[in-house]
Amino acid sequence: MATSPEMVPKQILAGCRTKGIHVVGSGDALHPVWREMWQPLLENECGITVVPQTEVEDSSRVHHLILMETFDQFAELQQRFTPACGHLTTAGRPHLHLSGEEIAREVHDLGGMIGPAHAFTPWTSLFAAFDLPSECYGEESIEFCELGLSADSSYGAGIEEFAEVPFLSNSDAHSAAPEKLGREFTRLDLSAPTVRGVLEAIKKGSVVLNAGFFPEEGKYNRTACTRCYAQFSLAEAERLHWRCPADKGRIKIGVKERAEQLSTIPPTSRPPYLKMVPLGEVIARVLGVSSPNTKKVRALYSKFIEAFDNEIAVLLEVPQDDLARISPEVAGAVLSMREARVTLIPGGGGRYGSFTL
């Protein structure tokens, strides 16, 4: 659904290798055919750790991420969820007629981990439906919170019930193209490069670095009309009764304003959050073209990967002088991004934000 037909396990692993991703969630692990497709690639020549994982929607339209150590656990979870869902074998992200607490109880009973997916977005998320995590999960705990593209760590650091909860900066991928895969990632301190090692690191909160979009690039960062994307302050939206005066479109609260509403304590200390732009988009801006899919962009992108192994290394670690041997202009743009010298045009209402370097 809304995913490239090329988004199959081998292509995902190849994309991760180019991007520099060492751990990837399988996605759709409640689907038996998808589990079968992944099974022979759990040990792979790329050396990438595949964590059995899925995303589900509950009866309040809240999305949850579920992590397990094995696909066998997900096969058992599929059986347990079958009475609450008629399309587990035909959908990747199933809709369950269960509450968040009921879902979490089943996951924990099988030894798995659960947390809200893209927690702050104004649709199908924890804070679209509830003001507190405990209102959703009841007596069940959560092991992590996924921030989503429109938020960084600072957005959740003032929420009291998140004080001891690790933040993950993941992004789902609708294709294996470099600008879509690994748009956000979490760097963990692992005791071992295994699924168990990954799950233990998350549970312990062994997050070294979060990296992802500038929150302003997210399509729900600011309060805005869902038709014309005009942006409003929270006070204006309330005065207008959440209807745009120009076209009567629905105004949706932005992630930034929603996070401010929910913050009740001084911000807790969090690992560094590095804001970054996919390399293909950086190159496209430097070359003055509209898409990272042009031949010019792809050719220059390939030169960087051939020289420095993977995209994350280029974006985060390779010295500017070394990058400049491939392209001084791109090297300068990457440095501007690393130093947050970026002009941002915030997104909202369903339209992505943009930037200039």
For residues 131 and 285, give the distance between their C-alpha atoms in angstroms, rounded to a whole number: 39
The answer to whether 290 touches 284, Cβ cutoff 8 Å, is yes
CA distance between the termini of the chain: 34
215, pLDDT greater than 70: yes
Mean pLDDT of the chain, nearest integer = 95
The encoded tokens of residue 46 equal: 């790329």
Burial grade of 7 (CB within 10 A; 0-12, 13-18, 19 or more): middle
Parallel, antiparallel, or unpaired for β 185-188 and 207-212?
A: antiparallel
The encoded tokens of residue 155 equal: 């957005």
User: What pLDDT was estimated at residue 179?
Assistant: 85
Name, in order, each residue with C-beta under 8 angstroms of 262's C-beta and a sequence gap of 6 or more: 127, 131, 158, 159
75, pLDDT greater than 80: yes
For residues 76 and 55, give the distance between their C-alpha atoms in angstroms, rounded to a whole number: 16
Q: What share of the chain is helix, strand, coil (3-state, %, to 5)?
A: 35, 15, 50
User: What pLDDT was estimated at residue 185?
Assistant: 96
State mean pLDDT over 326-340: 95
Is the whole-model pTM more than 0.85?
yes
2, pLDDT greater than 80: no
1, pLDDT greater than 70: no
User: What pLDDT was estimated at residue 177?
Assistant: 84
Place of tokens 């993941």: 170
User: What pLDDT was estimated at residue 23?
Assistant: 97
State mean pLDDT over 51-73: 98
Place of tokens 């520099």: 20
What does the pLDDT look like over 287-332, one tens digit per residue? 999 899 999 999 999 999 999 999 999 999 999 999 999 999 999 9
Q: What is the DSSP string of 169-214?
A: -----SS-STTTTTSSEEEE--SSSSHHHHHHHHHHT-EEEEEE--
Burial grade of 299 (CB within 10 A; 0-12, 13-18, 19 or more): exposed
33, pLDDT greater than 90: yes
For residues 257 and 322, give the distance between their C-alpha atoms in angstroms, rounded to a whole number: 41
User: What pLDDT was estimated at residue 5?
Assistant: 87
For residues 280 and 283, give the distance between their C-alpha atoms in angstroms, rounded to a whole number: 5
User: What pLDDT was estimated at residue 173?
Assistant: 84
Name, in order, each residue with C-beta under 8 angstroms of 292's C-beta and a sequence gap of 6 or more: 177, 178, 179, 278, 280, 281, 283, 284, 298, 301
Confidence of residue 4 (pLDDT cuts 50, 70, 90): confident
Parallel, antiparallel, or unpaired for β 185-188 and 167-168?
A: unpaired
What does the pLDDT look like over 124-163, one tens digit per residue? 999 999 999 999 999 999 999 999 988 999 999 999 999 9
